[in-house]
Amino acid sequence: MTRRDVAAVLLVDVTSLRGVGVAKRARTDAHLSYRASDPWAVRLAVHTDAGWVGWSFARSLLADGLNGRAGEGDVTVFPHRHGEPFVHVILSSPTGTASLRFDRAGVEAFLDRADKAVPEGTEASHVDWTRELDLLAGGGPR
């Protein structure tokens, strides 16, 4: 990790998880990470009985989900109803669905640190576009 990368380990309540070897209800570790070199994405890894299960999705999706339902398809994020201090992340795949409940303050703190590393709206200036074009052209990393 560089000094501009951000990571957090949070406890998460897994309220349902099918297809990856976890009981219907569990409390486990979840790792959120953010890399300035990939400024639009966050990574989420959840510890399960079958090992770590990882997802990547938009940082803006996680942020938008703090205030209302955000996302379609594989990842949906939304605040807990009735104003309780939680945020839910629903992850779907052909092999299962996970419904995760995070402490809202932990997610907010992670996003605040990510925004300090790369302020929203400045992401494009943090990408090595020459490297990305080389990768697209099949030239591999420099």
Whether 36 has a pLDDT exceeding 90, the answer reads: no
pLDDT per residue over 19-34, tens digit each?
Answer: 555 546 778 889 999 9
**44 and 54 in contact (C-beta within 8 Å)?**
yes
Question: What DSSP element (H or E) covers 105?
Answer: helix 104-117
- Asked if residue 67 has pLDDT above 80, the reply is yes
Q: What integer pLDDT is reported at residue 124 of this predicted model? A: 63
Residue 134 has pLDDT above 80, yes or no: no
| Cα separation, 41 vs 19, whole angstroms | 25
Mean pLDDT score of the chain = 82
Choose among 3, 8, 51: nearest CA to 33: 8
User: How is residue 84 annotated by DSSP?
Assistant: -
CB atoms within 10 A of CB 62: 25
CATH number of 6-136: 3.30.56.10, 3.30.420.40, 3.10.180.10, 2.30.31.20? 2.30.31.20
Q: What is the pLDDT of residue 20?
A: 54
Q: Please choose, from the candidates 12, 11, 18, the residue with its C-alpha nearest in 3D space to the C-alpha of residue 92.
A: 18
| Range 123-128 average pLDDT | 67
Q: What is the pTM of this model?
A: 0.79
Q: Which residues are CB-contacts of 73 (< 8 A; sequence separation ≥ 6)?
A: 92
Composition of the chain by helix, strand, coil, percent to 5? 25, 40, 35
Return the domain boundaries, the chain.
6-136
How many whole angstroms separate alpha carbon 107 and alpha carbon 70? 15
- CA 106 – CA 80 distance, rounded (Å): 14
What confidence score (pLDDT) does residue 132 get?
Answer: 61
